[in-house]
Amino acid sequence: MFEVLPHLDPDPILGLSVAYKEDKNDAKIDLGVGVYKDEKGNTPILSSVARAQSILQEREDTKSYITPQGNQGFIDNMLTLLLGEASPVLMADRVAAVQAPGGCGALRILSELLVRCNKDARVFVSDPTWANHIPLIGSAGLALETYPYFSKDKAGIRFDAMMDKLKEAGKGDVVLLHGCCHNPTGADLTNEQWDAVLKLAQERGFLPFIDVAYLGFGDGIDEDAYGIRLLAENLPEVIIAASCSKNFGLYRERVGLAAIITDNSKVKKIAQTQIQSVARESYSMPPSYGGALVDIILSDKALNQEWVSEVNSMRNRMKTLRSMLVDRLEANGAQQDFSFINDQKGMFSFLCITPEQVLQLRREHSVYFVESSRINIAGINQQNVDTLAKALVSVL
């Protein structure tokens, strides 16, 4: 049976990891896969997570299934984190949600639910967007369209072009938005631009689909939630896919949240049965461990404060790395202005160089990142930043 299957090329990012591991150059640099790394190149276990693990080890007394919707404490705490403690939609009981296996699981669950609501719905995604958005959403059966988002020539957001395209979206259509720290560009909407998106959504009636994977890595947890909370509080319906992989460092635990903000509590009760049904058909019962850790951290005041401090430290370190790279590029004679790197946010930055230059960096300098020119800022450190800057200047 399986001999009929065609061979598929490796995933571009995961394929980079293989090539990096096989490279014998001691000075090789990995800026591909989007995981946070510390100064030694490790993806650490946060101290707040380590403490939560100890608490869970003492507290857990069974390995039976958890509830179909997931750890309810995790769900409640995550909704409060995303929407705010005084969220009017939470107080009005308008939010249906399930714990999902990672942000990817949340995206797929919500996409499957959209098919149940309207199989002919169009989903508008930014150009560019995270590569896995396309298969996750498209293979659920939804039609995809793109809207302009980023200009490599200007190293910035094409906001006017974006808004012109979104004027084509209407009731029954869906617009995928990055909540903060846009992947792959690092270029985020300003608060004023979020206000304009809200006004257009109110006029056109499209459904915002917000993917938030890097909360806290941009300007701060509450600051990064501006767009999410603005749309949630001023529109009848919004859907949100959230990931705990990055800001909690729980990559391998696959912890996410799929949430639906409905028009009223009656519709919420119906939506809750439907979203649980989608999850049941996909993987039956949710995993427990990672969600339990997040619940413990967000429920404990001291642990919560420790976690916020750790998120702040990761964010500030990445901002420092951005400045360091810009300074080293200038010091090594770069004629191109790379100051835009300081304006981008989160783990990623678009260097706005050509695919040919990216491949040259890989061949001649063992610097690995994807051909779009997206680099993982957290892969930079004190030891490799000069090597990276010199390599970049050599191919410009």
Q: Give pLDDT tens digits for 30-65.
A: 999 889 999 999 999 999 999 999 999 999 999 999
In this chain, the answer to whether the domains covering 11-44+315-395 and 65-299 adopt an identical fold is: no
pLDDT at 20: 86
Report the 10 Å Cβ neighbour count for 95: 24
State the pLDDT at residue 315: 97
pLDDT score, position 56: 96
Say how far apart CA 147 and CA 205 lie, in whole Å: 17
The amino acid occupying position 366 is S
Helix axes 385-395, 301-331, angle to 10 degrees: 40
| Inter-residue contact 122 to 144 (CB < 8 Å) | yes
Q: Is 240 exposed, middle or buried (0-12, 13-18, 19+ CB in 10 A)?
A: buried
Task: Write out the catalytic residue numbers.
Answer: 130, 211, 246
| Structural domain spans, the chain | 11-44+315-395, 65-299
- Is the Cβ–Cβ distance between 90 and 77 less than 8 Å? no
Burial call 308-324: b when 16+ CB within 10 Å, e when fewer: bebbeebbebbbebbeb
CA-CA distance, 341 to 283, in Å (whole number)? 40
pLDDT for residue 207: 98
> What is the value of pTM for the model shown?
0.95
Give the CATH number of domain 65-299; options: 3.20.20.370, 3.40.640.10, 3.40.1050.10, 3.40.50.720.
Answer: 3.40.640.10
Do residues 217 and 346 make contact, with C-beta atoms less than 8 angstroms apart?
yes
In this predicted structure, what is the pLDDT of residue 241? 98
Cα(249)–Cα(244) distance, rounded to whole angstroms? 7
Domain 11-44+315-395 has CATH 3.30.70.360: no
pLDDT of residue 34: 87
The pLDDT of residue 294 is 98
3-class secondary-structure state, position 174: strand
- Compute the distance between CA of residue 134 and CA of residue 99 in angstroms, rounded to an integer: 22
Q: Which of 105, 184, 166, 125 is nearest to 351 (CA)?
A: 184
Full DSSP string of 214-232: -TTSSS-HHHHTHHHHHHH
Closest of 248, 4, 232, 7 to residue 97, by C-alpha = 232
Strand partners, 152: none
Q: State how far the Cα of 350 lies from the Cα of 254, in Å rounded to an integer.
A: 26
Q: Length of the chain, please? A: 396
What are residue 245's phi and psi, to 5 degrees? -65, -45
Three-state SS at 124:
strand
Q: Residue 276 has what pLDDT?
A: 96
Segments of the chain with pLDDT less than 70: none
